[in-house]
Amino acid sequence: MSLKQWADNGWLRAHKTSPQEIGDLLAIVDRDLQDAEGGISPDWRFGIAYNAALKLCTILLHASGYRPEKTLQHYRTIQALPFVLGNQRKPDADYLDACRSKRNTVEYDRVGAATDDDATELIAFAKELRQAVVDWLAKNQPALLKK
């Protein structure tokens, strides 16, 4: 599969991004990573860190010329990660998909499903992913990075 095949299947649609949009999304990532380190519950820390990681996947998808259709937006955005950064990132997409499920639990079903360790691990992952995304943009779409 490829992103183009996903678009042909109706799972993605074309999207033209801009340096402003990418900059705004990176600003959300930076805010979320800072907030996730604050003195709040592990559930909220986890949810905020998840949002940062999801925004990073969104940046990659937008920079590749796509956005997800309405159905399964988070899932498709996360699963696009290896299509953009390479197949070696498939375990990262699987990890983020597990985080997606856990985030849904802490958001909608019950308190205490995320531990401090879960939140700390996801924050560290998102920080590493942020660097990988910025590096990818610099190499593949430098015009999208604000000067």
What is the CATH number for 48?
A: 1.20.120.330
Q: pTM for the complete prediction?
A: 0.95
Q: Is residue 113 part of a domain?
A: yes
With respect to residue 10, please indicate whether it lies within any of the assigned structural domains. no
Name the domain count of the chain.
1
Residue 147 has pLDDT above 70, yes or no: no
Q: 84 in a domain, yes or no?
A: yes
Mean pLDDT in residue range 5-23: 96
Residue 102 lies in a domain: yes
pLDDT in the model for residue 15: 97
| Residue 142: band (very low, low, confident or very high) from pLDDT cuts 50, 70, 90 | very high
Tokens of 138: 């610099």
Q: How do residues 28-77 score in pLDDT, each as one tens digit?
A: 999 999 999 999 999 999 999 999 999 999 999 999 999 999 889 999 99
Query: Which structural domain range is residue 53 located in?
Result: 18-144
List the Cα angle 128/134/140 in 5-degree steps: 130
- Evaluate whether residue 8 is within a structural domain: no
For range 74-100, the mean pLDDT: 97
Structure tokens at 99: 């985080």
Say if 13 falls within a structural domain.
no
Is residue 120 one of the residues assigned to a domain? yes
Does residue 5 lie within any of the structural domains?
Answer: no
Q: Which two tokens stand for residue 140?
A: 């593949």
CA 44, distance to chain mean position in Å, is: 17
